Amino acid sequence: MLTNDNQQKLILKRIEQVVSVLMEEDPIFKQDIDYVKIVEHLVDLVENNLTDEQFNNMSNEKLKDNCSFVMSTELLSKIGQDLTPEQMAILDEAIKRK
């Protein structure tokens, strides 16, 4: 979806504010997620998946929930990066049991 400059600025500003709040509320986000990269990723997601009207009508709380979900998923994707194959097998087995 193509958006005009004003809409792009609005999207960027709202997402920056939400990401800043989430990083202050949960220090693990601040510690393990690159602010600039996650903001860019979230802006891309919004611009590619929502109409201007959908975004403009989305409450700040809903936007915060959605951003938190994406950021949490980003953190989870990093879990396996430092694990040995044996540790990954243990984690995989533990997840299967749940």
For the chain, domain boundaries: 5-97
Q: What is the mean pLDDT of residues 66-81?
A: 88
pLDDT at position 65: 96
Per DSSP, the residues of the chain read ----HHHHHHHHHHHHHHHHHHHHH-HHHHHHS-HHHHHHHHHHHHHHH--HHHHHHS-HHHHHHHHHHHHHHHHHHHGGGG--HHHHHHHHHHHHH-
In this prediction, residue 60 has a pLDDT band, given cuts at 50, 70 and 90, of very high
Please tell me the pTM assigned to this model. Answer: 0.79
Residue-averaged pLDDT of the chain: 90
pLDDT at position 90: 84
Q: Which residue has the higher pLDDT, 80 or 46?
A: 46
pLDDT at position 29: 93
Does 85 score more than 90 pLDDT? no
Does 1 score more than 70 pLDDT? no
